[in-house]
Structure 1
Amino acid sequence: MGIFKSSFVFMIGTVCGVYIAQNYDVPNIKKLAKTGIFMAKHIEENYRKPKKKDDD
């Protein structure tokens, strides 16, 4: 009985997800994540402390 209940919940979630993706403007998560990583790298490169030179 448990497998039917869990598969029913999974199917309902899938149907709702497809409906929302088709009828609403859902952002592309992969693109959003890449943009965030790019901005974090850019900020890190610009605001990183300069490396100290060792005078040996």
Structure 2
Amino acid sequence: MGIIKSCFSFIAGTVCGIYVAQNYNVPNVKKLADSAFFIAKHVEENYRKPKNKDDD
């Protein structure tokens, strides 16, 4: 009974996640993260301060 009690929230979350993924239009999290990373990289490259020649 101990393993069922300790894993109940994990099993319930998995079942609810499967139901939501099958019945609703859930966005692809990996695709969203990749696009956010690309935008952040683009912004960082465009607004970076230029290097000073005196620092070298």
| TM-score, scaled relative to structure 2 | 0.82
Match of residue 14 from structure 1: 14
In structure 2, runs of 5+ residues without a counterpart are: none
Secondary structure of the residue aligned to 2:52 is coil
Aligned identity (percent) is 70
In structure 1, runs of 5+ residues without a counterpart are: none
Match of residue 24 from structure 2: 24
**Aligned length in residues:** 54
Match of residue 51 from structure 1: 51
Deviations 1:6-33 (A, max 9, x none): 2232222111100000111111111111
Q: What CA RMSD, in Å, does the superposition of the two structures yield over aligned residues?
A: 1.3
| TM-score, scaled relative to structure 1 | 0.82
Structure 1 outlier segments of 4+, above 4 Å: none
